[in-house]
Amino acid sequence: METDETTGKQGVVKMTIGALVGVVALLAYLFMGSRNETLEVQKLLTTKVEQFATTQLKLDSISTVLDTKIVEVRQLGGSVVELERIKRQLENDKKKLKSDLSFSMQQYDLKIRDYQAFLANNEVDIRKLKTENGSLRNRAQVLEQERQTILTENAGLKTEKAILAQTVVDYSEQNEDLRNKVSLASALKALNIEINALAANGRERQGGTYKASRIDRLHITFMLPSNPVAQRNNKDIYLRILDANGAVVSESGFGGTTWLDGREIGYSFRQTVPYENNDQQVNMYFRRDAPYAPGTYAVELYAEGFKIGDSRFIVK
Residue 40 to residue 42: CA distance in whole angstroms: 5
Confidence of residue 76 (pLDDT cuts 50, 70, 90): confident
Count of H-run helices and E-run strands, the chain: 3, 11
- Residue 45 has a pLDDT of 63
Residue 297 to residue 314: CA distance in whole angstroms: 6
Q: Which residues contact 233 (CB under 8 A, 6 or more apart)?
A: 274, 275
% helix / strand / coil in the chain, to the nearest 5?
55, 25, 20
Residue 116 to residue 136: CA distance in whole angstroms: 30
- Residue 50 has a pLDDT of 77
Tens of pLDDT along 117-167?
Answer: 988 888 888 888 888 888 777 777 888 888 888 888 888 878 878 887 787
Please list, residue by residue across 67-98, b when 16 or more beta carbons sit within 10 angstroms of its beta carbon and e when fewer do: eebbebbeeeebebeebeebbeebeebeeeee
Confidence of residue 183 (pLDDT cuts 50, 70, 90): very low
pLDDT, mean of residues 281-308? 94
- Residue 87 has a pLDDT of 87
Tens of pLDDT along 192-201?
Answer: 999 999 999 9
Between 234 and 289, the more confident residue is 234
- Residue 262 has a pLDDT of 81
> HEC states along 215-280?
CCEEEEEEEECCCCCCCCCEEEEEEEEECCCCCECCCCCCCEEEEECCEEEEECEEEEEECCCCCE
Confidence of residue 114 (pLDDT cuts 50, 70, 90): confident
Is the entire prediction scored with pTM above 0.75?
A: no
Distances (CA, A) of 131 to 18, 67, 123: 89, 21, 12
- Residue 101 has a pLDDT of 59
The SS3 assignment for 121 reads: helix
> HEC states along 2-59?
HHHHHHHHHHHHHHHHHHHHHHHHHHHHHHHHHHHHHHHHHHHHHHHHHHHHHHHHHH
Complete domains list, the chain, with CATH = 11-131 (no CATH), 191-315 (2.60.40.2560)
pLDDT, mean of residues 6-11? 56
How far apart are the two ends of the chain, measured CA to CA in Å?
214
**Please, what is the average pLDDT of the chain?**
81
Amino acid at residue number 210: Y
What are the φ/ψ torsions at residue 265 (nearest 5 degrees)?
-130, 155
Nearest alpha-carbon partner for 240 in 205, 271, 277, 213: 271
pLDDT, mean of residues 284-313? 94
pLDDT, mean of residues 238-264? 88
- Residue 220 has a pLDDT of 97
The strand pair at 306-315 and 204-205 is best described as unpaired
Is residue 234 scored above 90 in pLDDT? Answer: yes
Residue 119 to residue 89: CA distance in whole angstroms: 14
- Residue 13 has a pLDDT of 56
- CB count within 10 Å of CB 275 equals 20
Amino acid at residue number 33: G
Is residue 5 scored above 90 in pLDDT? Answer: no
